[in-house]
Structure 1
Amino acid sequence: MIQTKTRLTPEEKEALTGLARRRGVTESELLRQMIRTVTGGPEVEPVDTERRSCQVNIRLDEHERDKLAERSAAEGYRTPTTWAASAVRAAIHQDAVLSDAEIEALRDASREIAAVGRNLNQIARALNADPDAEPGGLAQAVVSVAQAVEGHKAAVSALIGRNLNRWEVVGDE
């Protein structure tokens, strides 16, 4: 990663440190999130707001480490450590954990649904502006909006299904 440095006043540093602590992320990760927000990049929310201060180390052979790196990259995780932590959380909480790529896909779907809502508002505004007008293209517009919504629902459903299957924990209880 490329490193960027800046100077902060003591008050700015204190504010940055406090916000990072409340969000449960490092100051560096908080700054990356802020940059992504300002530039329109993918936003990433922490799983919880409790600071993660405990560390667990595991030993893997070279083949296992390589497979972990391959799988974490293939599933959209920034690092193998993030993937491994997600796997542990999924097993402990019996719940799926989204990767950065999956979070971005859901955000994209949300933006598309918001655009559909704006289109519906424009259609309604046009109809309300001239109540005597023939709604010629209205039927096609409604069908188009419905198809877009169904497409996004299917994409989100598939994403959630893949995620739940990835973290499925099978065990004897």
Structure 2
Amino acid sequence: MDRLTLRLSPDLARRFDAAAAGHGGRSRFLRSLMEGVAQAHLPVPENPPTGGKSSKLTLRLGELDVALLETEAASAGLSRTQWSVALIRGRLHNRPQFTRPEALAFIEVQRELRRIGVNVNQIARALNTAVMEGTVLDLETAQLAAFSDEVRAHIAGLHDAFNGNLAYWSAEL
């Protein structure tokens, strides 16, 4: 088996061990997390980096600010650096900044909506070619309209989720 080695702050190691305790220990939990990530199909970024180098930004914060930053980052499931980068990118690009679980959830919702859309199209095509009389056709058309309304409601929910994410990362708190 291959071995990976990484350095962690004592605080992160302590928090990870606490989370891993209920999942069979550090190694087992880390393997399961890595397996989940390896099996996920993550989207390709729409605007891939142009090959520019990244730059290091150093911040000096007081103890209270660091404590608040760590609390906020932990509540979002991010490290201090990840949270700070997401905050800066959110402000600079005015685009949602998702954690990996959020991104995976949105991908799954997109798949489901696409599947439902295909089914609705098949129903519409069948209705267009079917020879039905009065009441039966009205019932089928009503069912199709209900599906359409449901899809619109889910899309509105996604829109609200994106707006909520943008609001979280915006300057207005």
Q: TM-score, normalised by structure 1?
A: 0.59
Counterpart for residue 165 of structure 2: 163
Match of 1:141 among 143, 146, 167: 143
Q: CA deviation at 1:94?
A: 5.1
Q: CA deviation at 1:43?
A: 1.9
CA distance in 1, matches of 2:52, 2:117: 37
Partner AA of 1:64 in structure 2:
D
CA distance in 1, matches of 2:56, 2:34: 23
CA distance in 2, matches of 1:48, 1:142: 39
Counterpart for residue 127 of structure 2: 127
CA distance in 1, matches of 2:102, 2:70: 18
Deviates more, 1:158-167 or 1:59-68: 59-68
* RMSD across aligned positions (CA): 3.6
Q: Sort the Cα spacing of 1:155 and 1:42 in 2 relative to 1 into closer, same or farther, 3 A.
A: farther
CA distance in 1, matches of 2:61, 2:78: 19
Unaligned runs of 5+ in 1: 7-31
CA distance in 1, matches of 2:34, 2:153: 29
Identity of aligned residues (%): 22
Q: TM-score, normalised by structure 2?
A: 0.59
Q: CA deviation at 1:125?
A: 4.5
- Equivalences, count: 139
Counterpart for residue 67 of structure 2: 66
Unaligned runs of 5+ in 2: 5-32
CA contact (8 A) 1:69 1:79 kept: yes
